[in-house]
Structure 1
Amino acid sequence: MSSPASAPAGETARGGPIGRLYAWTMSLAARPRAEIWLAVVAFVESSVFLIPADVLFVPMAMARPLRAYRLALIATVFSTLGGIAGYALGYYVFEAVARPVLAFYGKLAAFESLRACAGPDTTLILLATSGLAHLPPIKVVTILAGAVQIGLGFFVVSCVLARGLRFFALAFLLRRYGPAIRHFIERRLKVMAVLAAGAAILLYFGLKLVAGSGQLLSC
């Protein structure tokens, strides 16, 4: 999970363009149409936008905890739709559109490294870790999934499960514990998400080994 408050503060302190973008994104939480902005950010985050939707989701859910699950649903639905858009970029217009986008964000080299290993198993790992903890960035994985042409149905289900788990877990914590849980979310929840994704991956590969399947990775 990206650090919703600490990372923006650090970037803003440096005064760079990323800091200003974080600050602008966080400011959307106080606007009258904040839910629409959450939908927009969740959508574009999955294909072309740099800032994760968590940066907007957390302050909104803290301000209105009774709406936390509604906000989680909005974020999950539009993050998945944005993922489908990213998938389409990788599937149909990788060279014309997706490659320049990745190059602009400095993610092209990482993308090419991932694509070299992008078999079904590796893609499953990346969909889980990016959806749960933004590792690697979601936009990289959604474009990758389209570029290597994994099944669209499988892709959509994985997006709903991983991203939904992330947003609804945040909603539960914020609704139940309120501002007291924010420090935990900023400092610890990402680690827990990574560990949960790792446990699921180990279980998956363990079952494959027991079943006697072949090569686990494609590179």
Structure 2
Amino acid sequence: MLRRLYDWCIGAAHKPHAMWMLGAIAFAESSFFPVPPDVMLIPMSLARPQRAYVMALWCTVASVSGGLLGYAIGALLYDSVGAWLIHLYGYGNKVEAFRTAYAQWGAWIILLKGLTPIPYKIVTITSGFANYNLGLFIVFSIIARGTRFFVLAFLLHRYGEQARHFIEKRLGLWVTLGAAVVVIGIVAALYLI
């Protein structure tokens, strides 16, 4: 099953709608969807390493745009949709502590959590809920998400062929490690926020 999904993502990189699919995942992940865009960005960049930077830029734009939706959910719809999403991901009892931390550490929270496997939608929704400065939120989101995606693009562009061979040889191991990193990020968010 992993091989089919991986092969589908590799094949999708050459389709005309590939960038739209990648953008849709990046947009949704920043506001409500649990799957990070790396799941598509990595295989698509491996398939077309010469376009890795374009894909990283597209992911950044879509992720920050999705972050604005998450911000709006937190600012305008927290009592209904925002609270439901926060509780769905198990962070309901952590929101007030997170909101209080924004008064002092908002910039660092956005920058650091935007780089980690902690679900970014938690940051975007809570930023809106905490009424964090929208302009600063956008700037810090661009920095954090851009850094994350462009570092990945740099590595995939530079080491694309070697990485592709290495990943394909042990696909199950890499998917398991990736899933473990995401789970550790979520657990860390539960106990560190």
Common fold by TM > 0.5: yes
Correspondent of 1:51 among 32, 35, 49? 35
Question: How far apart, in 2, do the equivalents of 1:25 and 1:98 lie?
Answer: 32
The farther-off stretch of 32-41 and 107-116 is 107-116
> Shift of residue 112 of structure 1?
3.7
Structure with more helix by fraction: 2
Contact 2:70–2:128 (CA<8 Å) still a contact in 1? yes
Question: How far apart, in 2, do the equivalents of 1:180 and 1:138 lie?
Answer: 30
Quick check: 1:178 aligned with 2:160? yes
Contact 2:9–2:43 (CA<8 Å) still a contact in 1? no
Give the structure-1-normalised TM-score: 0.68
Q: Deviations over 1:161-192 (max 9, x none)?
A: 111011111111111111434679x669xx9x
Correspondent of 2:65 among 74, 81, 87? 81
Quick check: 1:127 aligned with 2:113? no
Count of equivalent residues: 169
Question: How far apart, in 2, do the equivalents of 1:69 and 1:48 lie?
Answer: 25
Which residue is equivalent to 1:142? 124
Give the structure-2-normalised TM-score: 0.76
Question: How far apart, in 2, do the equivalents of 1:161 and 1:155 lie?
Answer: 10
Contact 1:26–1:56 (CA<8 Å) still a contact in 2? no
Identity %: 38
Contact 1:111–1:140 (CA<8 Å) still a contact in 2? no
Question: How far apart, in 2, do the equivalents of 1:109 and 1:57 lie?
Answer: 33
Which residue is equivalent to 1:167? 149
Which residue is equivalent to 1:4? none
Change (3 A) 1:26 1:38: farther
Q: Deviations over 1:91-142 (max 9, x none)?
A: 1110111111122222323334322433142x2222112211133x200010
Contact 1:120–1:150 (CA<8 Å) still a contact in 2? no
Question: How far apart, in 2, do the equivalents of 1:26 and 1:131 lie?
Answer: 28
Change (3 A) 1:26 1:117: farther
Equivalent residue runs for 1:92-131 within 5 Å: 92-121=76-105, 123-131=106-114
